[in-house]
Every structure is written in C-alpha cells, then in structure tokens.
Structure 1
C-alpha cells in the first residue's frame, strides 16, 4: 500500500529484468482487468506494476476527498516515484489511457512508451457534436437510477457474456456519486491541442465493437496523425481485455517489441 493525504493506493509489483510496464485500469474498473496481460509480460521478463486508482478496487479515498483528474495524476506520479520506476512503458485503458496521456504530455521524460487501450485522443480535434456529447455525458448518467447503472454500463462496455458479467460485478462495487466524479475527471482530460504529437513511442488498441464516446472515430484519426498502426481487436467491445484477452495480450506484446530495446 502507498498512503498519501487524500488517498491510499493498492499496487502490485512483479520483479523482472526487462523494462518496467505500468498498467492503469479504466473508470469504475480495477487492476484485475489486466491480470492476463500482466501475467504474460511478467513471464516474458518485464517488471510489471498494476494498481487501483483512488476510489477503485482496493484503493480508497479519504473522507471528504473526491476523485478528480488532478488527484489521479498525483497518484500515478506518486506511485512511479515510490517504486523508483525509470521511464516505464505506460499502458492505460479508457480513463487509464487518458491519465497516461496526460502524464506523458506534461512530463514526457517520465515514460519510455505509451500504449492506449480503448481511450479517446486527449489532444485530438473535436467536432461540435463531440463537444456537446462530452458536456452532456455526466448529467445524463446522473439521471440513471443507481441500481440500474452497473448493468447499463456493463452492457455498454463489453459484448461477451463473460465480459459483461465481470464488468457489472466490478461497476457495482463503486457508489454512484464516486462514479460520477470519476466520469467528470475522465472528460476533463480531453483538451484539444492542434499539432501535438506524442513525445514517446505510441501504440493504440481498440475493440472493433467499441461504441463508447468518440473512440471509434477518434482513434483512427489519431493513428493517422501519429503514423502508427491502430490494432483493432475483433469480437471485442470497450473492455477488450475481458472480451478478447488473448488477442489483447498479443497486441500489447507486439507493440512493446516494436518499441525496441
């Protein structure tokens, strides 16, 4: 555990001689969503770190502390410092991808690679319709009864029965008020910056059936702008690691190998 003012973090750290990899889960999820991928990279010799963001899984928020983008960024930076990680590869899903992008954008020397999984492009251009959808997202979710929210979010996040069941059980562990704060934080990471390009090697992964936000349109634009391959996983929705674990593991491994030594 890592304890700081405002939160307490649970993390796992598997030793390895190859360069470190840090997995960051998405909104409402926890470290378990990357269990298969973390195990594979560790078996390949990497040092692998997984963690739960504040208010998620086994990590907690202090009384009176609310989840925010600034809090999440502070938590990730604190974790990297606490573990003495030297320029790890950051792998983030959804909110975790937004968070990893934000860290690289602000502190490019803190990472040696970035793999974004089913997350929108923080710095990318937005249409008027996309701006409106971002603005309405949290208020729309606030109207959904708490009892129905986990099931609704699960069906929007996964397409396989197993993936939907895992998502629903995980979403159900988070109080609605916290989830709304998490959602607002996710949206706040989006900040168009024309001409910005990643300062570190970049990999992009998306489920073929991901219909969350503007990911299905933004990620292909992002791949073209950066001149990288977008790895599209067949038969998977937003949470590709649970819908298509083997294919996701293979894509992550191939991207890391492509980054070079």
Structure 2
C-alpha cells in the first residue's frame, strides 16, 4: 500500500476521495504535519496501491479498504489514531469504526454522508463499474465526474484546480475505479454507528457541495455526540483541494486540541 508519512505527534490517517488518490491532500499535508503526524495512503486499486496485493482480488467491500488501512497502521506501529476521510474516504473511516472503534481517538468526516445508497444510486454505480470493465476509463470518466465534484466558484474561477482534479481522475486504473464503485454500492448505513461514537468528531463540508451538501453535513454533526461542523465558503465536494487554506484553518486547531488531550 503506497502512503506518505509526514510530521510527528498525534497520528492522523486521511483517506482520499473517489476516484482520485492521496495527492488530493498535497495542499494541506505539510501545514497539518506541523501539528500532527499525517499519514495519507492510496487506497486499494487507486493511485500507486495495487488492486491485487498477492492474494487475488477480494470481493468489493469497504471493510477490505478499512482492513488495508489498519494493517498499514499496524506496520507503522500506530495503535491509536485520528481517522479522517473525504467522500469515499469518509466511508472508509466509518468502516474503520466498525472494525476497530477502540483504536480511534478522533473522527474527521469531510464532504461525506452516513447513509447507504438508494436503489437508483446503487444502479448508477454498478452501471459505471460495468462500463469501466468493458471500455476502460478514457476521457469520459473525468468529463462525467469532475463537474459534480467541484463547486461553482472553482469551476468558474480556478481552472488550474479543475485541470488538476481531471488529471487525478484520469490517472486512476479502470479496474480499481470499478472495484471501488462496487464497494461503495455495497456499503451499509452508518447512521446508528455514528450515534455511538464517543470521541471528538469534526465534520467539514464545502458550502457549494451538491453531492453531500451542508444540510447533510449538519445532520452528520448533530448525530455525533461530540460533533462539530465547519462549512468552508466557495468550494464544493473536494474542499481540501479547492480551499486548502480554509481547510487547514478549520482542521488544524481541532487537531491541536486533540493532541493536547493526550
């Protein structure tokens, strides 16, 4: 599993969004690493992490992704950690809670949701997975997904960010993207799980996120017993990419507070 390990102190593992890789954290990694130890892996089948790690390709499941992450942390000698993720990464963070809640010292949910897919959403994911397996990724994947991943301000005023995200999407292996779509389609509802979380939690959302909008984020924060909400202006579903300074301003002090608790 490919990963980047930066900084020292409180371990924070950040799982990336779909369908990109850990480079989405490039704009926030070093500023956050001044406050904590920041570990950013490429998830199975995406970026530089292989889909088949030597034992064959497992059935698509976010529990597999969570186990990958926990195994990496074991290899790094990390017992307790803050787990965070954006979009897909948030789903993986919730899967980690199902697998090893006792190891989680804090929860960071970014532009994500707790509910499972409905029938229509599931069918869309499976249809895209079938097309990827049949035709490969090509230009159609980025042109289909990127507009919805970014806020209106980013699309209008930040062409370099649009190009960066399109490049990240285009870099992903079709097989890994298809596997991940199937894993997300099969994920369970995590609403009750979050209601039982006893550690500090921060929910971050882009003001212009149309995929998991601020209303959804507000409901997430309210569900978490120690939940807080930060809404970042002028950005969409990839808030750490679109508004890295605002993201660090929201997340950095929270991490410092957590580190101070020991």
Q: 2:51 aligns with which of 53, 61, 82?
A: 61
The offset of 1:53, in angstroms, is 0.9
Aligned-partner SS, 1:204 = strand
The offset of 1:143, in angstroms, is 5.7
Determine if the alignment matches structure 1 residue 84 to structure 2 residue 84.
no
Once the two structures are superposed, what CA deviation does each residue of 1:160-196 show, in whole Å capped at 9, x if it has no partner?
Answer: 2233211111111223343122122123333255473
The offset of 1:84, in angstroms, is 0.8
Distance 1:137 1:35, change over 3 A: same
Aligned-partner SS, 1:60 = coil
Distance 1:97 1:148, change over 3 A: same
Aligned-partner SS, 1:72 = helix
Q: What TM-score results when the alignment is normalised by the length of structure 1?
A: 0.83
The offset of 1:15, in angstroms, is 4.5
The offset of 1:226, in angstroms, is 2.4
Show the counterpart of 2:145.
153
Show the counterpart of 2:170.
172
Aligned-partner SS, 1:40 = helix
Matched positions, count? 244
Determine if the alignment matches structure 1 residue 221 to structure 2 residue 219.
yes
- 2:201–2:228: 8 Å Cα contact kept in structure 1? no
- Could you list the runs of 5+ residues in structure 1 that have no partner in the other structure? 1-8
The offset of 1:118, in angstroms, is 0.7
Aligned-partner SS, 1:198 = coil
CA RMSD of aligned residues (A): 2.3
Show the counterpart of 1:4.
none
Distance 1:197 1:137, change over 3 A: farther
Determine if the alignment matches structure 1 residue 131 to structure 2 residue 118.
yes
Distance 1:105 1:119 in 2: 17
Aligned-partner SS, 1:138 = helix
Show the counterpart of 1:102.
95
> Which deviates more from structure 2 when the two are superposed, residues 77-86 or residues 151-160?
151-160
Q: 2:68 aligns with which of 63, 75, 83?
A: 75
> Which deviates more from structure 2 when the two are superposed, residues 139-148 or residues 214-223?
139-148
Aligned-partner SS, 1:36 = helix
Show the counterpart of 1:121.
114
Distance 2:33 2:131 in 1: 42
Show the counterpart of 1:52.
42
Show the counterpart of 1:39.
30
Once the two structures are superposed, what CA deviation does each residue of 1:182-234 show, in whole Å capped at 9, x if it has no partner?
Answer: 1221233332554733232111001111111x554432112122253311111
- Could you list the runs of 5+ residues in structure 2 that have no partner in the other structure? none
Distance 1:15 1:229 in 2: 25
Aligned-partner SS, 1:119 = coil
Distance 1:210 1:10, change over 3 A: same
Determine if the alignment matches structure 1 residue 11 to structure 2 residue 11.
no
Distance 1:115 1:257 in 2: 13
Once the two structures are superposed, what CA deviation does each residue of 1:42-88 show, in whole Å capped at 9, x if it has no partner?
Answer: 223x2221211111111112285255323212211101100011211
- 1:53–1:72: 8 Å Cα contact kept in structure 2? yes
Show the counterpart of 1:252.
251
Which has the larger helix fraction? 2
The offset of 1:108, in angstroms, is 1.2
Aligned-partner SS, 2:114 = coil
